[in-house]
């Protein structure tokens, strides 16, 4: 059981960190003192992706390819 728990944590932690980083402000992501939580969650990163890139088009292309 301990080995299974260790493997589960090893698999889940990077996913947790990725999702957490998506909601962190840019200053927290670039901080030299990483924390496993955020004090000020923000959707600003998602807004910037859609404003700076043609992300909607890329996402639609991916859906079309995956659906065929």
The encoded tokens of residue 27 equal: 């200053």
Q: How many beta carbons lie within 10 A of that of residue 6, not counting itself?
A: 10
- What is residue 22's predicted lDDT score, i.e. its pLDDT? 92
| pLDDT tens-digit map of 16-31 | 999 999 999 988 888 8
The reported pTM is 0.67
CA dihedral defined by 9, 11, 13, 17, rounded to 10 degrees?
-170
The SS3 of residue 15 is helix
The encoded tokens of residue 40 equal: 């000020």
Give the count of domains, the chain.
1
**pLDDT band per the 50, 70, 90 thresholds, residue 36:** confident
Task: State which residues form the domain around 52.
Answer: 2-67
């Amino acid at each position: 059981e301990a080995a299974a728990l260790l493997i589960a944590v090893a698999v889940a932690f990077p996913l947790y960190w990725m999702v957490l980083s998506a909601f962190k402000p840019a200053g927290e992501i670039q901080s030299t003192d990483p924390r496993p939580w955020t004090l000020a969650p923000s959707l600003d990163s998602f807004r910037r992706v859609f404003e700076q890139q043609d992300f909607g088009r890329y996402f639609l292309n991916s859906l079309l390819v995956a659906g065929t």
